[in-house]
Amino acid sequence: MKIKKAELQGIYVNLKDLPKGDLPEIAIVGRSNVGKSSLINKLVNRKNLAHSSSTPGKTRTINYYLINDSWYIVDLPGYGYARVSKKEQAKWARFIEEYLSKRQQLRGVLQLVDIRHPPSKDDILVQSWLFQQQLPVLCVATKADKISYGARSKHLAAVKRELNLPPGVEPLCFSAVTGAGVEELRQAIDEILQQ
């Protein structure tokens, strides 16, 4: 897949305001600070399309990026940030859950986890819930540049085990710094969009 055009289409706080029409959508979910904005920027080969924040938990909106005028990347609010009130966390959780369970245009989900750490309880809950929804899910282990090349397979095996990924389903190793995994990610998205 070649990405020739990418633009921020809109920022939404209500599901009822989301774009109309039938363009397919690929959603990105993950803990706050897992590198969603960096992944989007690397994927579309743009430096500042998606803005990353040094303050985790800052994204409280659904951000739509129109790719090649033919499909959307949908950046959902990060989960699991402790400094946000329980009430606010619950509101985001409902917001994300409603989008993932009801959005007809949704074709698949990229779940981002930080390769350096075992998946959190939130990561495991989200993964389990996504599989129950029978959505195509690709687990992407981000920040691969932060660990040695030799240690990656051990960390990926831990991600696979903790998330209870089915046999034959492997997490994709990704680095927004080095570009590792970017071509594989584009190909995987292309396959999801063709289904």
Beta bridge partners of 142: 114
Check pLDDT > 60 for residue 147: yes
Is 39 in contact with 46 (CB distance < 8 Å)?
no
Assess whether pLDDT exceeds 60 at residue 82: no
Interval 85-126: pLDDT, tens: 777 767 777 888 899 999 999 999 999 999 999 999 989 999
**Nearest of 62, 162, 51, 53 to residue 102 by alpha carbon:** 62
Report the predicted TM-score, pTM, of the whole model to 2 decimal places: 0.92
Structure confidence by residue, pLDDT tens digits, 5-15: 999 999 998 88
User: In the beta sheet, which residues pair with residue 65?
Assistant: 8, 73
78 or 123: which carries more pLDDT confidence?
A: 123
**What span, in angstroms and rounded, lies between the C-alpha atoms of 175 and 35?**
9
**CB neighbour class for 165 (10 Å; exposed up to 12, middle 13-18, buried from 19):** middle
Q: Per-residue pLDDT averaged across 32-57, rounded?
A: 84
Q: Alpha carbon of 129 to those of 92, 117, 123, 145: distances in Å?
A: 15, 21, 10, 29
- Residue bearing the bigger pLDDT, 98 or 71: 71
Convert the pLDDT of each residue in 45-70 to its tens digit: 999 899 865 555 555 789 999 999 99
| 151-170 per-position pLDDT tens digit | 999 999 999 999 999 898 99
Please tell me the predicted confidence (pLDDT) of residue 9.
Answer: 96
Q: What is the CA radius of gyration of the chain?
A: 16
Task: For Cα atoms 152, 158, 162, give the angle at the middle one, nearest 5 degrees.
Answer: 150
Q: Determine the average pLDDT of the residues in 30-58.
A: 84
- Burial environment of residue 119 by CB neighbours within 10 A (0 to 12, 13 to 18, 19 or more): buried
Q: Which top CATH class is 6-194?
A: alpha beta
Percentage of the residues of the chain whose pLDDT score is greater than 70: 92
- The CA angle 185-175-146, to the nearest 5 degrees, is 150
Residue in this structure with the two tokens 């009822």, named with its chain if needed: 16
